[in-house]
Amino acid sequence: MSIIPTLLKQLVKKPFTNPFPKKHAPNKVSDVKKINDPIPVPDDFRGKIKYDRAKCIGCRMCVTVCPANAMEYLPKEKKIKHHVLRCIMCAECVDVCPVKALSSSKEFLLAETDKKSPNLIEK
């Protein structure tokens, strides 16, 4: 069976998987032998949305197309507020923004213990 050479080779190879990224590793690393950096994400990656408040003209296009209702319009300031926890990272808002006030970042580890953390609300 041709699977047997593959299996034997696999026996002596190091594990494929990468331990969880550095930033979230436990404080005590004495029992972790080697921590690999996470595999870099590709150029087109759709990660956490970054908002440039100064550029925004309040056209509301991003609010109209957002499938997850993650964009909240602030009528007084004519700006928006982005709720990261609701976002499904489709990046449609990035495509439609006429002044490029929104952009996809490479950040994807968004877990927080406080749901009101400023990391989870972009404004």
**Pattern 85-104, binding to another protein, x per CB under 8 A?**
---xxxxx--xx--------
Query: 24, 98, 33: which is closest to 62 by C-alpha?
Result: 98
Name which position in 89, 107, 121, 123 contacts ligand SF4 (CB under 6 A).
89
Residue 48 near which of ligand SF4, another protein, none (CB within 5-8 Å, type-dependent): none
Residue 64 near which of ligand SF4, another protein, none (CB within 5-8 Å, type-dependent): another protein
Tell me which stretch binds ligand SF4 (CB under 6 A): 22-30, 32-40, 79-87, 113-121: 79-87
Identity of the amino acid at 2: S
CA 55 to chain centre: 22
105 close to 68: Cβ distance less than 8 angstroms: no
Residue 12 C-beta: closest distance to ligand SF4, Å:
44
Residue 10 C-beta: closest distance to another protein, Å:
8
Backbone angles phi, psi at 3, to 5 degrees: -75, -25
The 10 Å Cβ neighbour count of residue 71 is: 23
